[in-house]
Amino acid sequence: MVKELGVAYYGNVFPDHARIDLEEMARHGCNSVLIAMSEYDWEVWRKNIMKIAHIAKEEFNFNVYLNFWSWGGIFGGEAPSFFLHKNTDFRQVKSISNKRGTHDKVAAVCFNTSEFKNYLFKAIKNVCKYEFIDGFFWDEPHFYYLPKSAISFTCRCDTCQKLFKQEYNREMPVKLDNDVIKFKENSIIKFLKDLSLKIKEISPSKKIIVCLNPPPLESGISDWDNFVYSLKDVIDVFASDPYWLLFGKSLNYVEKFTEKTVSIAKKYGINSQLWCLGFLVQRKKELELKEAIKIFDKYNVDSIFTWCFRGAEGMSLSCSNPKKVWDVIGDVYNELKRKYHL
Ligand SMILES: [Zn+2]
């Protein structure tokens, strides 16, 4: 049974404007919001972002989640990272240099960097103080997306080489093999486990959601079952975002990953969440969004979200007809709202 209907929200930092937007979300059937907070928002606009979250909870009674949007370049999103800007030494390193031996580093922090983890711990500790934040969202944690044709992988930085050698008793190879695949997977799991444990230690009632992006994007996590099994004691919700139109896929793709997400979540006794595409939607494809959300409902998902508010109107990721997308979302959300008395 669907209990939550929400959207991702970002790009505005003024609480009075946010109030108008939250009213609009409520009219579109939402009872939840995910605030996508970039490092820039955190460093520069923190006070106002927290005021917006407070309004969403106090005035609209929304479930309010916080997303460390694009932090370190290892979570999903377009926002740049202060941490990477200031700490180029902690970037992921490609296993094979290009011909000139340059550009080995990519714009994403290594998962095994304790400095980055401490940077996040500090922010987590601060956010945990706010009672109106219901939970945290680990958004598409992934190693840097290299092109499919790349013979290189990331990360083969000094720290990763050292850790790999300790674990496998051999040098880390420059070409991907099964040990490297496992090592990368475990690096992401360990990273998320440490962050989640920190939250549960400070504020056990805060929910933790982790969202994996399905293939063809290569996050570094191929075994979803083992991933959720490894984190089941520290996370509350398993999510995925089968954005079919981005990859020229049909709704069968949505159904396949909805079934997979819900069944793995159920297997490990946690809730499920599915994300509907609400950006870069091409003209005349808008009604497919309704079908995708109906598929989520058919599989009894607990929570449905759409990325993002108003069909990404005005953004580089805008839908061809953002207003139509937003209206379609509003119609189907309001149908579900009535169906489940939300
Ligand atoms: Zn590394």
DSSP 245: G
> How far is CA 109 from each of CA 95, 112, 172, rounded to the nearest angstrom?
15, 9, 19
Alpha helices in the chain (DSSP H): 15-27, 39-58, 82-86, 114-127, 158-168, 178-202, 224-231, 251-267, 287-298, 322-339
How many A from CA of 144 to the centre of ligand 1? 11
pTM of the predicted protein model:
0.96
**Distance in angstroms (rounded) separating the CA atoms of residues 160 and 179:** 13
How many A from CA of 164 to the centre of ligand 1? 10
How many A from CA of 312 to the centre of ligand 1? 33
Per-residue pLDDT of the chain (342 residues; tens, 9 = 90+): 999 999 999 999 999 999 999 999 999 999 999 999 999 999 999 999 999 999 999 999 999 999 999 999 999 999 999 999 999 999 999 999 876 655 689 999 999 999 999 999 999 999 999 999 999 999 999 999 988 888 899 999 999 999 999 999 999 999 999 999 999 999 999 999 999 999 999 999 999 999 999 999 888 898 999 999 999 999 999 999 999 999 999 999 999 999 999 999 999 999 999 999 999 999 999 999 999 999 999 999 999 999 999 999 999 999 999 999 999 999 999 999 999 999
Q: How does the average pLDDT of the chain come out, rounded?
A: 96
> How far is CA 12 from each of CA 52, 110, 114, 301, 325, rounded to the nearest angstrom?
9, 30, 31, 30, 20
Domain ranges of the chain: 4-78+115-148+178-339
CATH number 3.40.50.2000 given to 4-78+115-148+178-339: no
pLDDT tens-place string over residues 319-342: 999 999 999 999 999 999 999 999
How many A from CA of 226 to the centre of ligand 1? 22
